[in-house]
Amino acid sequence: MKSLEQEAEEYAKTLVGIDVHAKKDFIAGANSKWVQAEKIKAQIEILTGLYENSYIKSGREFWKKKFEELEQKLKQLEDETLQ
């Protein structure tokens, strides 16, 4: 499966009449903090479902740790965008 960045690069190559800088900006958008935050939010949503449906105590601790790590990354991204 192609990454978002690969998809953006391939799409940018199809743009006719757009200057090189616009294509680079389009590709850079695939790496934007907003896109990164959306990816993390999706991961948190998935982990939340797994955590809530985990009946094994040791497994719940694993999911809880992963969930907290993702929330921390999201908070950092949000803080960076406010600066």
- 4 vs 75: CA distance, rounded Å: 22
List all residues 6 or more positions away from 27 whose beta carbon is below 8 Å from its beta carbon. Answer: 5, 8, 9, 12
- What's this model's pTM, rounded to 2 decimal places? 0.58
pLDDT in tens, 6-65: 777 777 777 766 666 776 777 777 778 888 888 899 988 887 777 777 665 566 777 778
Give the gyration radius of the chain's Cα atoms. 17
List all residues 6 or more positions away from 51 whose beta carbon is below 8 Å from its beta carbon. Answer: 60, 63, 64, 67
Mean pLDDT value of segment 61-80: 85
